[in-house]
Amino acid sequence: MIETVLSIVAAHRTGAATPVETVARSFARIRARDDAAIFITLRDEADALAEARKLEAAGRTDLPLYGVPVAVKDNIDVAGMPTTAACPAFAYNPTHDSTAVARLRVAGAIVIGKTNLDQLATGLVGVRSPYGVPKNSFNDAMIPGGSSSGSAVAVALGLVPLALGTDTAGSGRVPAGFNNIVGLKPSLGLISTHGLVPACRTLDCISIFSLTVDDAWTALAAVAGPDRADSYSRNRPLGRPGVMSGHLKIGVPIPGQRLFFGDKDYEAGYDAALARLARLGGELVEVDIEPLYETARLLYEGPWVAERAITAQKLLASDPDAIHPVTRAITLDGLRPTAIDAFSAFYKLERLRRVSDYIFANQIDVLALPTAPTTYTVEQVLADPIQLNSRLGTYTNFVNLLDLCGLALPASMTPKGLPFGITLLAPGGADARLAEIGRVFHADTQLPLGALDEPQPALSPVPPQPADGEIAIAVVGAHLSGLPLNGELLALGGRLLQTVSTAPDYKLYALNGTSPPKPGLLRVDAGQGAAIEVEVWALPSTGFGAFIEGVGSPLSIGTVRLADGSSVKGFLMEAVAATDARDISNFGGWRKYLAQNK
């Protein structure tokens, strides 16, 4: 049985499977694969099963990742497991989860182990690790891609349905392309990097590997959000993937800028992918991407080489031989740039950012590029480690420098039986737009899931959205369908969009002295509350003002974050009102509270 994230959660909710069974199956598959280079550290199976039993006993089947096994790249902290960054001399034992892992746990996921990587997340090849080279999921002779090699291979083989990677210059996209899976590289700051070993801290992203776009989005919604512990975190609205519709301008390089280094199979795969995008409704627009290539060259010419050296600086001074020879050579280069070099690079980058901004604002909506221009065998990369690695970053190295978000997608299989993938790129903050295009593109390929020879599941319906001229609002109490104040919404032309849950960041209180009885929804720290059932209604914008004018203290209209990571306007309460109100969060919603308190 092969499972996606969404099918696992559905099976757990219906009782067709249990978290304990699913976790045990992951460990069994890892043993059967018998590739010691995929994981650097596996969690004790008995410990993971105990966590699964505890989750079952809590009965929180509403959690978006309820019982989903997850792997974590070994430069991201997991409490109780060593963080090595694939460098034994660097290893330490964290006492706390990284923010991303903590949020995965809150969402119901269960960590299985820490995956292999190019040492210190430096490389796109997956062969620079003292813990071995994870075998490519399609051909043992080929590189797995890096630096998030173990995470990508684990997902492609079905050992886990979900894994965290990182992406500074393509590490969350290239291995996805080489293993026929989805690699979601979010906008900068969307996922907290607190608890991540930095490669280039100003550019680092935690990325997501999965078998489908919908799975990746479910995970992104669970872990995204601002974090006071991360000074590079940003409060970027996540949005929600809608229906792929409307006139979509898809940028493609002019023919002379399409680089494949002689790989005719990848070139043909790209042409076929562009034809598919056009058939799905996109208008292909040729653009000059030389400014993007110029930006990419900055990555290994300017201050970001010096930034890479920061993490390894002490080890370079005390025990340089403990660092992989290729990684050591790259990081040593980081000790040479001067402050003058740095500022010169910053000035050039700002100029190039303006060019990129203009392209997306005036010429295209998204850019569609090959994820990588070609691929290589392990033997080839070991013989020429620097140049071949550099080629693999042709279409990835500029992305984080320009604050673009990216979504790597399976596109086709070559005649040699190797995956070819494309990546959709857009300005930071457009993650939802990429997901709504990517999910349709991936489904249309009809490619099997990863390396599993299993068909993709049918696309789930897109949640209904407000129409033009409407505003979405979440109601939690007396305005729910059939309750005393619902008529106010209906009288203003409101229509019910969906019944959903909030993120698990709220508490629900039964307020005193209100008629009719009403609850209050209070936002608390991430993971300290519960997921509360709400209804999302669409109100005509002409009636929205009239509706909120009638809302009085201690209630107000604010922004409510939903379980899928999106946000809508909704009812919230002032914190002072909780003093003499009853906490009813354990009921999970106002209807359930009323039903049990008649």
Active site residue 147: yes
Closest CA to 280 of 242, 240, 245, 241: 245
Specify the DSSP class assigned to residue 485.
T
Q: Residues 129, 147, 149, 356: which is the catalytic one?
A: 147
| 219 membership: H or E segment, kind and range | helix 213-223
Closest CA to 303 of 348, 353, 356, 355: 348
The neighbour count for residue 483, using CB atoms within 10 Å, is 18
- Tell me the helices (H) and strands (E) count for the chain, helix number first: 18, 19
Spatial distance between the Cα atoms of 151 and 455, rounded to a whole number of angstroms: 21
3-state secondary structure 348-376: HHHHHHHHHHHHHHHCCCEEEEECCCCCC
7-37 burial, b at 16+ Cβ within 10 Å, e below that, comes to bbbebbeeeebbbbebbbbbbebbeebebeb
462 Cβ contact partners less than 8 Å away, ≥ 6 residues apart: 241, 242, 243, 436
SS3 of residue 343 by DSSP: helix
Q: What angle do CA 233, 234, 239 make, to 5 degrees?
A: 130
Active site residue 344: no
Q: Please state the length of the chain.
A: 598
Say if CB 209 and CB 5 are below 8 A apart: no
Active site residue 171: yes
122 Cβ contact partners less than 8 Å away, ≥ 6 residues apart: 128, 147, 199, 308, 327, 330, 331
Which residue do the tokens 């990419």 mark?
296
Closest CA to 548 of 502, 488, 596: 488
Residue 367: φ, ψ to 5°: -115, 130
Say if CB 90 and CB 81 are below 8 A apart: no
Spatial distance between the Cα atoms of 188 and 236, rounded to a whole number of angstroms: 9
Largest CA distance in the chain: 77
SS3 of residue 271 by DSSP: helix
Query: Helix 213-223 vs helix 99-106: angle between axes, to the nearest 10 degrees?
Result: 110
Q: What angle do CA 430, 432, 436 make, to 5 degrees?
A: 120
Q: Residues 26, 149, 151, 171: which is the catalytic one?
A: 171
DSSP secondary structure, 552-588, as one string? -TTEEEEEEEBTTS-EEEEEEE-GGGGGGSEE-GGG-
Closest CA to 583 of 512, 513, 514, 526: 512
Own/partner pairs for 468-472, CB < 8 Å, 24+ apart?
Answer: 469/540, 469/541, 469/542, 470/538, 470/539, 470/540, 470/541, 471/538, 471/539, 471/540, 471/541, 471/544, 471/569, 472/497, 472/536, 472/537, 472/538, 472/539, 472/568, 472/569
Residue 71: φ, ψ to 5°: -105, 150
| 538 membership: H or E segment, kind and range | strand 533-540
Catalytic machinery residues: 73, 147, 171
